Every structure is written in C-alpha cells, then in structure tokens.
C-alpha cells in the first residue's frame, strides 16, 4: 500500500476509497514509531486513533467520506487539550492532567474528519523559538538532527518534515509556526487575528490591553496542503484558500515591498548570514519573474519595541498558578522571566500593552503601502540542540531574537504572514523568507508561497538584481557588513 505524499492527495484518495482511514493511520503511526529519535511526539494515542479510523471508515460507507479532512492523520501541540490525552504544556512544574474535553480547535478539526495521533513536543508554555523542555526529549530537525527544528511548534514541524504527518495544525504567538517552518523547509501560515474563529474565544487583547499575539494556523510541505488545512481550521465552505492556490499561476502585477529592517535592531545586532541573504535575493528574483513589482520598502520601526514586546510576551507568566515548591521545576528562562513579570506593576504591564498597540497601528500603516511585504526568514541556520538551554536566560533570549527578528512584529500587528522555503543548501538545510499580508490576505499569501516554491531553484547561485530592485542598496545587504 502506497500512501500519497501530499495531504491533498491523501485526502482525495481517502474520499475515493483507494485507501482506508485505518490504513492511513497505521502507515503514519508506523512512521512515528520508526522516527522516535526526532522527539517529535510527547504522547502517541495509537489505540484511540485506530478506533477513530475504524469509525471514519464506517461513516464513509454511509456518506461517501465528504468531510473535508476525512480520515487524514494529524496531531496537536502539547499546549492544548485533546480529550483522553495528558496536557503537559511542556512543563515539569504543572500537573499533567488527562483532558476531559477537546479544545475548540481540536473539536473543529475532529468534526472536519481529521484523526489525531497524539501530542507534539513544545517548549515550556510555548515560550521559546526552540522545542526543548524538562518533560521529554528535545525535538530535532529532520534536515539535521543535531539542530533544533525551532519552536514553539518544533515537534509538529519535525513530524511534518519527516512525513510522520501529512500536515499539522499549530499555533503562533511570536513566530511559533513560521520559525519551525523556516527551520525545517516547510510552508507555515500565521493567519490574521480574526481568521480562525476559535482564536478569538478570549478576545483580541490580553488582560493588560496588549494585542493578543497567538493564533492558529497550518504547517505543511507545500502551499496547497497548507491551504487545505487552513480552510478546515476556519470552518470554511468550498475550500476558498485551496481554490486560490490552484489559481496561483495567474497571479501577477502585485506591488511587493522588500525590507530587511527589524524592530529588534535597536536592541540586538540583526545580521544576515550569507545563506539567509541569498534566500532573500532569490525570493526577490522569483517575485520579479512572476511579473510582480518589488520595491525597497523604507520602513522605520519604533525603537521601544524590544522592551515593550518582552514585557507583554512574558506577562502571562505572572498569572500562572504554580504550586508551592514547583518553581524549581521551571526551566531557567521561564523562571527568570516569571520573576520579572511578577515584579512589574499592573501599570507597567499596561504601558507596554499601550506601546505595542501604537506599534501595531504604525507598522500596519507602513506595510499597507504594499500588497505584501517581503522580509528575510531566519538570519542563520538553526542552532544546535542544547545551544539555547546552555546559556544564561538573558543570553538565551538574545540569541532567539537575533535568530528570528522578523516574526513577532506581525503577531503584534495582528496581520497574516507566511513562511516559505526558497533555497536548499548542499548540506540539505533549507532557508526561506517571510511574506506579510494585509488583513484577510491569507489566500493571497498562500498564492505567493506557491509561486515562490514552484520557482525555487535549489542549486543556482544568487540571481542578478533586476529592474525595480537594487540588491546593492542597504535594504538588501548584510547588516553585519555595514
């Protein structure tokens, strides 16, 4: 039995009855078992998954399997509840209770026909850009198992990149979908704040008035698969995003702003490694080849952003309920940032939230001059597993910001963004870029991702600059060489 390589191909084969849900689940469970070395899964719910698969096969006999994700295996990050499975939040400091009910996102995908194989590895409380904790072995990058797959959706990304899953739902509060996608050579969509209904269950702001950062989105091996899962996550009828990707070839004439500016540059050095710069230039060239106009975007970010973001990013730690004596079980970074969050006054938290709201409005205004904004993805190859945890907390955080200085600003603005691989290095590692869209522009971003992925030549050298964009300008140069 040959399982189709793409999620879309698998879904269609399941609908046609060419493969049963049980066969699909068994095949992917076998892959999970074979690649335990990747640390992608924290919990595997094989028995429950097979029971769901049998039920799906019985339903198909009655309904022709018309659910959008009928029988397709997925998994969920170990930050949300899946009925019957323990939720660890990646932390040894909190009880690992077995969930009695599904998270709304989980129940929605279950109704769409998807079958959960278990829970994937995350960092403690989803805080970091790497997926290591004190609960289970670290997640590892299938492209180089000595390196991190990123975070906080590192387990999900590792599973998708290694074909343990056809695709996976994930979440992104500062880059947690896009960072692992870029690290593992995947397409990762961070939708806008209002795109997935379950994301707004607790409102659009945190208790201190800062913009809500975390949204749910897909990780996939190509844009069509990402679109299929995104449509299911938002409960869309007629699969509008997937249909848009199928029409991607005809998309042309957009105005794209290209920028390597980062709001973190006021606090940390933002230096593009040669392979990151090359990926950015390849993306510029690819967009020009598709008939889009690519202009240097002169974007000026508020220098107070790094401090305001750090305060709001960690404010939730002050509200964590940690049992007496369990603080010592927190990771060093979590413990240090929780202590700082507890030491701040409500006024300080609210002031940070106010600064982020102002930043969001200003950034959206500047980006709004373009149909989409192109930025680099990650500044360098993924660090080795253990590189972050081996550092003092402040140095750990600094390295995260230096590695991924382009993602969190989009969460603050509440806008959609997509990470797409455009370059494969001789080592097998991938490098990619980010595209930021306008509100409601997820389908357009997926179309652009499809165009870039289709046009990526993994072996050619960096292209010559073309009319409309000069890669000798500062915005396309390596900040380390300025």
Q: Is residue 210 part of a domain?
A: yes
Q: Hunting for tokens 């493969």 — which residue is that?
A: 19
Q: Is residue 84 part of a domain?
A: yes
Strands 255-258 and 73-77: unpaired
Q: How many domains does the chain contain in total? A: 1
Q: Which bin fits 253, alpha (ψ -120 to 50), beta or left (φ > 0)?
A: left
- The C-alpha atoms of residue 383 and residue 398 are separated, in whole angstroms, by 13
* Nearest to 85, CA basis, from 106, 108, 67: 106
pLDDT at 65: 67
Structural domain including 359 reads: 7-481
Distances (CA, A) of 427 to 130, 329, 409, 459: 21, 37, 31, 12
- The C-alpha atoms of residue 476 and residue 288 are separated, in whole angstroms, by 15
Helix (H, G, I), strand (E, B) or coil at 218: strand
- The C-alpha atoms of residue 42 and residue 155 are separated, in whole angstroms, by 8
Q: Is residue 2 part of a domain?
A: no
Q: Which residues have a Cβ under 8 Å from the Cβ of 124 and sit 6 or more positions away? A: 89, 90, 91, 133, 134, 330, 331, 333, 334
**Count of Cβ atoms closer than 10 Å to residue 202 Cβ:** 11
pLDDT at 300: 98
Q: Is residue 286 part of a domain?
A: yes
Residues with active-site annotation: 77, 152, 176
**Count of Cβ atoms closer than 10 Å to residue 195 Cβ:** 24
Q: Is residue 185 part of a domain?
A: yes
Contact (CB, 8 A) for 367 and 192? no
pLDDT at 100: 98
Q: Is residue 265 part of a domain?
A: yes
Whole-prediction pTM: 0.94
pLDDT at 392: 98
Low-confidence ranges of the chain (pLDDT < 50): 457-482
Q: Is residue 65 part of a domain?
A: yes
Q: Is residue 1 part of a domain?
A: no
CATH of the domain at 324: 3.90.1300.10
């Amino acid at each position: 039995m040959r399982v189709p390589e793409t999620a879309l191909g698998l879904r269609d084969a399941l609908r046609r009855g060419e493969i049963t849900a049980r066969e699909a689940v068994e095949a992917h469970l076998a892959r999970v078992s074979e690649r335990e070395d990747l640390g992608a899964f924290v919990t595997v719910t094989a028995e429950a998954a097979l029971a769901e698969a049998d039920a799906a096969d019985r339903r198909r006999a009655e309904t022709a399997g018309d659910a959008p994700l009928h029988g397709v295996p997925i998994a969920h990050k170990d930050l949300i509840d899946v009925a019957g499975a323990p939720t660890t939040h990646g932390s040894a400091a909190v009880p690992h209770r077995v969930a009695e009910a599904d998270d709304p996102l989980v129940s929605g995908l279950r109704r769409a026909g998807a079958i959960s194989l278990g829970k994937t590895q995350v960092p403690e409380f989803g805080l970091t850009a790497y997926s290591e904790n004190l609960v289970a072995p670290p997640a590892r990058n299938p492209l180089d198992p000595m390196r991190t797959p990123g975070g906080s959706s590192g387990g999900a990304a590792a599973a998708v990149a290694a074909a343990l899953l056809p695709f996976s739902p994930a979440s992104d509060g500062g880059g947690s979908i896009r960072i692992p996608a870029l690290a593992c050579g995947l397409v990762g969509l961070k939708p806008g704040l209002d795109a997935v209904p379950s994301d707004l269950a607790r409102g659009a702001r945190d208790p201190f008035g800062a913009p809500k950062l975390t949204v749910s989105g897909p990780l996939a091996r190509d844009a069509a698969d990402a679109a299929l899962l995104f449509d299911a996550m938002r409960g869309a009828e007629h699969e509008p995003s997937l249909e848009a990707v199928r029409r991607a070839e005809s998309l042309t004439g957009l105005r794209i702003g290209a920028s390597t500016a980062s709001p973190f540059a006021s606090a940390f050095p933002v230096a593009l490694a040669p392979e990151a710069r090359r990926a950015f230039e390849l993306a510029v060239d690819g967009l020009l080849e598709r008939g889009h106009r690519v202009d240097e975007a002169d974007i000026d970010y508020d220098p107070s952003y790094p401090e305001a973001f750090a305060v709001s990013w960690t404010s939730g730690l002050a509200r964590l309920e940690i049992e007496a004596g369990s603080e010592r079980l927190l990771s060093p970074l979590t413990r240090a940032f929780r202590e700082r969050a507890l030491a701040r006054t409500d006024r300080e938290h609210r002031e940070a939230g106010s600064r982020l709201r102002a930043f969001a409005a200003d950034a959206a205004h500047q980006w709004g001059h373009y149909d989409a904004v192109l930025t680099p993805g990650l500044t360098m190859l993924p660090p080795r597993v253990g590189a972050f945890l081996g550092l003092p907390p402040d140095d750990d955080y600094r390295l995260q910001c230096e590695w991924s200085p382009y993602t969190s600003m989009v969460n603050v603005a509440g806008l959609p963004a997509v990470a797409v691989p455009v370059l494969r290095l001789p080592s097998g590692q991938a490098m990619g870029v980010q595209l930021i869209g306008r509100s409601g522009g997820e389908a357009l971003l997926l179309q652009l991702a499809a165009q870039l992925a289709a046009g990526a030549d993994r072996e050619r050298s960096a292209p010559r600059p073309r009319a409309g964009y000069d890669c000798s300008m500062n915005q396309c140069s390596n900040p380390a060489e300025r």
